[in-house]
Structure 1
């Protein structure tokens, strides 16, 4: 074979190899392009699924326990009918890198929420709020009973707060909060209130400690349910304490008899005269403990009572009281009240 023929054959082989390489590269490139297209189409379809309105036709409540994996949450959301495709939820969470931001809790998912909207709601952690109200003037035992009756709170009450150590308020909480924690909040709130207002108390009050203020506030709380009367009721007791007079408060006697449970009848003369630590018709000064848990208004009232000379008060027949600085005026007011009572008795209690 001549040299020219060998050269031409080598060129043909080289051309064939180059063509094969080009064909292979073209094939690989085609596959990559197809893959990219597929990924793009898949990503677009996934995004469209994630932002479209969800299947639920009404608001839906779902409880996500602490420590739940994203996949568990996804299937739970599917089970309650707020998403159709758990894999879309999982992919969206992972693509956004928010796995650690999904918060446990009880949520109300609005109707037709998209996957993205649900993820944002769970990231914000805006759980459903529940409310517990501790009424003013209830004893600690009564408030604990109310806590135990609440079916959203969890756990037993193991804390033993003393009488008057809870601040009655309405408390917001989320499902899963313990009864003990709510008790701690009530105790902490009362401490914070006293700390905030103690230094601004009136001068020359007949008590020197926050504990004594709470005792007197509990008596004011039990004596009236009329908010605007509290500073004036407080002034009567403050004036009596300053003069060394007995407080003569019926609710203190009842507490000594029943620990604050309703007596269900009027006080007997023997009970008015009975020697107990809580009978303020017999003892001078304050009883040994509060007789209830006073609210903020009653605590503020005893720290800054109305400026009056009043020493007496009696019911006026309208739910409030009439006040007097002297026994003579008080006796006249009592006579009027007795007349109202007799009239009501003859009218069948109207």
Structure 2
């Protein structure tokens, strides 16, 4: 009897103590495992690809220092499933985490798809080709895919788009945009930029042309000429003057003779040290306004609001020529003789600044 009693005493005390000890250890571990890895809140960006298994996601989060334990994450998901939670699965995407987030907070962020949007900025004066290179460098998609998408100019895309434009050049509004990485496709980005043009630029055109406009112009020609003004103008105070020069030349049936149109047609970029050569200026191209009268087939760059407005409100001058001083400003002339003198003076200054090779 005493022996049997001692056995009962052992099991009656030791077993509950074991359970209690195990519970305390488990509880302590869970408190540690579910807590934030750090109190400093360092930022960690992580991309979860489509179809990645939960176990691998947990391991990636642990390796990145976002959570303390991949096992704890899996256990938390199992607990949510047992409770009948609706949001149990982890969604793919790019997320910005903070190392001072607890495990439940991290899981909730992924389950509710609080994704990180990426930002990109298209400067005024950029061409479709430059945009395409940027998107490829940011890892969105191949540059050629964006160029191909920008060739689709059907009015079905936007009813206000002119029917005879060679591409969407000029209608992709320059601005800063935000988009989810998973949505960053050529067509989606083009839609964003066309929407912005419709919101910002199109009302300016409609309001101007519906009243008593200083110049009557089609939407296509407006954007085309404004893109040339955009590429020529550097100083804001000169935009309306440059616009006025081009309108004066068009009214007199003079060729525009704009260097940026030649550069666009030949896909080159001149510099003060390496200006356009005579052979380049004489090279045939639909965009060469030294050889062709009137406007080129379409725009040559994205156009900011300032140049769009300046094209509708040209300065009233009798200037017919201008030449860049390569400091952002221009010399404006009323006749060819004064223009040639300005060219010679600027060429002389450039030669004086260019170091001579011994």
Normalising by structure 2, we get a TM-score of 0.68
Shift of 1:266: 3.2
From 288, 292, 312, the counterpart of 1:279: 288
CA contact under 8 A between 2:87 and 2:112: conserved in structure 1? no
Does the 8 A contact of 2:213 with 2:312 survive in 1? no
Partner of residue 37 from structure 2, selected from 45, 55, 66: 55
Residues 235 and 306 in structure 1, CA contact (< 8 A), matched pair in contact too: yes
Q: Indicate conservation of the 8 Å contact 2:174/2:302, yes or no.
A: yes
* Aligned pairs, number: 307
Match among 67, 81, 90 for residue 77 of structure 2: 90
Secondary structure of 2:47 counterpart? strand
* Equivalences for residues 225-244 of structure 1 within 5 A: 225-244=234-253
1:150 equivalenced with 2:138 (yes/no): yes
Residues 103 and 340 of structure 1: CA distance in aligned 2, closer, same or farther (over 3 Å): same
Find the counterpart in structure 2 of residue 262 from structure 1. 269
Q: CA–CA distance in 1 between the matches of 2:294 and 2:213?
A: 16
- Alignment root-mean-square deviation, CA: 4.0
1:159 maps to 149
Residue 212 of structure 1 and its aligned partner are, at CA, apart by 0.9
Whether contact under 8 Å (2:126, 2:302) holds in the other structure is yes
CA offsets per residue over residues 7-60 of structure 1, 9 Å max, x none? Answer: xxxxxxxxxxxxxxxxxxxxxxxxxxx9xxx9xx99xx59x8399632357443
Where does residue 15 of structure 1 map in the other structure? none
SS in 2 for 1:201: helix
Contact 1:103 1:125 in 2 (8 A): yes
Please say if 1:313 is aligned against 2:322.
yes
Structure 2 stretches of 5 or more lacking a match? 1-15, 152-166
Structure 2 matches for 1:36-47, cutoff 5 A? Answer: none
Contact kept? 2:128, 2:150, Cα under 8 Å: no
Does residue 198 in structure 1 map to residue 209 in structure 2?
no
Q: Return the alpha-carbon distance in structure 2 between the equivalents of residues 129 and 227 of structure 1.
A: 32
Q: 1: CA distance between counterparts of 2:60 and 2:105? A: 16
Contact conserved, 2:35 with 2:68, CA < 8 A, in 1? no
- Superposition deviation, residue 327 in structure 1: 4.6
| Bigger fraction of residues in helix | 1
Q: CA deviation at 1:249?
A: 1.0
Shift of 1:184: 3.2
Distance of 1:229 and 1:300 partners within structure 2: 13
Alignment of 1:265-344 (within 5 A): 265-272=274-281, 276-327=285-336, 329-344=338-353
1:154–1:176 Cα contact (<8 Å) kept: no
Q: Would the alpha carbon gap of residues 199 and 88 (structure 1) be closer, same or farther in structure 2, given more than 3 Å must change?
A: same
> Counterpart of 1:18?
none
Tell me what 1:108 maps to.
96
Aligned-pair CA distance for 1:194:
3.4
1:140 equivalenced with 2:122 (yes/no): no
Cα pair 2:215 2:312 within 8 Å, conserved: no
- Alignment equivalent of 2:116, drawn from 128, 153, 157: 128
Segments of 5+ residues of structure 1 without an aligned counterpart are 1-33
